[in-house]
Amino acid sequence: MKTLSDIRLEIDPERYYSPRQISQKCWITNSNGEEAKTNYDQVLRLIRFGKLPARNFGLGKTPYYRVKGIDLLNYLKTF
C-alpha cells in the first residue's frame, strides 16, 4: 500500500486526472483499506457524492469527470 508521501511525489497539483487513472494508480483505497485498483466505481461515487471535487469536461449527456491534482491531494489528506 502506498503512503501519502509516495502519492504526493506522483501527483502533479496542476494536472487533471481521470477516475480511471486514479483507480489504476491505487491513489484511493476502499473502506477496508485495500487498494481500489479495480474499483473505478468507487472513485466515481466519491465524485458524484461531492466528496472528491471534479470538473465535468463532457460536452453531451455523458459526463467526463477529471480531478485536479491539488483537489486529489486535499482529499487524501482529509480522508
Comparing C-alpha atoms, which of 9, 4, 16 is closest to residue 54? 16
Looking at residue 26, what is its pLDDT?
84
pTM for the model: 0.85
Structural domains of the chain, count: 1
Cell of 61: 449527456
**Domain of 47, in residue numbers:** 4-78
φ/ψ of residue 67, rounded to 5: -110, 130
When pLDDT is cut at 50, 70 and 90, the band that residue 39 belongs to is confident
